[in-house]
Amino acid sequence: MTTLTQRKSLKYYLDLRYPVTIEEAPEGGYFVQIEDLPGCYAQGESIAEACEMIEVARKMWLEVAYEDNQDIPLPREDREYSGKFNVRLPRSLHRKLDQMAEREGVSLNQFLVSTLSRAVGVEESKKERKNR
């Protein structure tokens, strides 16, 4: 027996609070986006104007997606993460990573967590330096 999941109302999605990313635009003003809603972005001369524009873009994005019966992603904070995911990679890369982990004296899993953490830290520090 198949159970159908009831779709939530448009109001439910419109009431969700999505995180917004704001960056200074190279040509002046501010670029703002909602990363959880692909293609949902706006620009304004001031931060206040950019925030007003992204709110209009968010509502339009959700209304169109809802009308087209598309899946609407939940905001990042509302998602639950198990801490597990599967990755498919070439055998040669798998072998190389395993060899590197062995040289470090750690499990492949521990080596990957450490490597990914380091890469995320580098990217975050680049963003912080750029925003200063």
Please spell the DSSP secondary structure of 28-70, one letter per residue.
Answer: SSEEEE-TTSTT-EEEESSHHHHHHHHHHHHHHHHHHHHHTT-
Rounded CA separation 77/105 (Å):
35
Determine how β-strand 30-33 pairs with β-strand 41-44.
antiparallel
Per-residue pLDDT of the chain (132 residues; tens, 9 = 90+): 444 457 889 999 999 999 999 999 888 999 999 999 999 999 999 999 999 999 999 999 999 999 999 989 989 876 677 888 888 999 999 999 999 999 999 999 999 999 999 998 998 888 777 766
Rounded CA separation 116/118 (Å):
5
Is 103:112 a contact under the CB 8 Å cutoff? no
Is 66:72 a contact under the CB 8 Å cutoff? yes
**pLDDT at residue 1 in the model:** 46
Q: Which helix (H) or strand (E) holds 22?
A: strand 21-24
**pLDDT at residue 110 in the model:** 93
DSSP character at residue 6: P
